[in-house]
Structure 1
Amino acid sequence: MKSTSELRRRFLRDGVSAGLVLPLLGTGLLHPERVLASEWKSRAFTARSTAEALRQLAVSNATESRDITIIAPEIAENGAKVDVEITSNLPGARSLLLLADRNPMPLCAEINFAGNALPYAKLQIKLAESTQVRALIRTSDGRTHIAIREIKVTLGGCGG
């Protein structure tokens, strides 16, 4: 059973929160039914194969590029935590996709860039088993470039 002071604190905390949100609802500045973030690509992130994930993201053909670098261990001792670093010198890069082919759900990340940014990302991913990791860069001219790296896993992370 909760003490009176705990209940009082919770009541005050929740009351203050509601007091801050209610005026925004009343003025029309806050629309609870509308999501202000970009639409989450649930079909791509829950796809069970690399081909399906790429189809959901409308990636049909990618050109292999030496301008994309994947820095990752050749052998990962533990698939539960694998550091992957991706850099690119491609001009006009708009997004970076990272996929692990043999994961139960291959799409690991999608990162969007604005302006003239040169893509750079350092991520920790889980790998179910030894697999190819693919980094795809989409450019402002509509082209997609790809780099592939094989990572061997000695102890699985996603499934066992």
Structure 2
Amino acid sequence: MGISRRQFIRFLGGAIVSFPVVSLLPERLLAKWNAGAFGAASMEDAVREKYGSLPIEDSSAIELTAPLVAEDGLFVPVSVASTIQGITSISFFSEKNFSPLVASFDLLPRMRPNISLRIKVAETGKVVVIAKAGERLYRASRMVVVSVGGCG
């Protein structure tokens, strides 16, 4: 039979009344944007904005997978997995990008990180992953040669 006019008006009125309340929720649910880290011009500045002055050590416990040669810098597949316990943050950097911090993920300490994504790489350079566990930072990097430009 369908919806009656009265039901439709009741539904429409409820939607109009609830819209202002619902529109305020996403602001509280979304993660805080780190404008300083994502807007930094150099990789060192981006790391400092994201993690402060914590010391960074290279780690073989972080497995970074990326192609040696990327045919197109716009879509470079990268993935990272780690056996380090208690990782709470993983960030991807591309040292030659205009904005070196490409992506950052906050994790629960009991999670075992295994992240895959496609990133934009401006030109040939290192792709770096930094993982935070406790008050320590761990790094893995890989050189990626870009045959077609990614930014520009």
TM-score range, shorter chain: 0.7 to 0.9
Q: Deviations over 1:58-77 (max 9, x none)?
A: 34221100000111100001
Instruction: Report the CA distance between 1:32 and its aligned residue.
Output: 2.9
> Where does the alignment leave 5 or more consecutive residues of structure 2 unmatched?
1-7
Q: Distance in 1 between matches of 2:120 and 2:60?
A: 25
The aligned counterpart of 1:8 is none
SS in 1 for 2:140: strand
Q: Distance in 2 between matches of 1:40 and 1:19?
A: 32
Give the one of 27, 37, 58 matched to 1:35: 27
Superposition map of 1:1-160 within 5 A: 16=12, 19-20=14-15, 22-23=17-18, 25=20, 30=22, 32=24, 35-36=27-28, 37-60=30-53, 61-139=55-133, 141-159=134-152
Q: Is the contact between residue 67 and residue 90 of structure 1 (CA under 8 Å) also seen in structure 2?
A: yes
With over 3 angstroms needed to count, the CA separation of the structure-2 counterparts of 1:74 and 1:19, relative to structure 1, is same
Q: Distance in 1 between matches of 2:135 and 2:16?
A: 41
Corresponding pairs, count: 141
The aligned counterpart of 1:3 is none
> Where does the alignment leave 5 or more consecutive residues of structure 1 unmatched?
1-11
Percent of residue pairs identical: 28
Q: Is the contact between residue 134 and residue 148 of structure 1 (CA under 8 Å) also seen in structure 2?
A: yes
RMSD, aligned CA: 2.2
Amino acid at match of 1:35: E
Q: Is the contact between residue 85 and residue 109 of structure 2 (CA under 8 Å) also seen in structure 1?
A: no
TM-score by length of 1: 0.80
Amino acid at match of 1:106: P
TM-score by length of 2: 0.83
Instruction: Report the CA distance between 1:52 and its aligned residue.
Output: 1.1
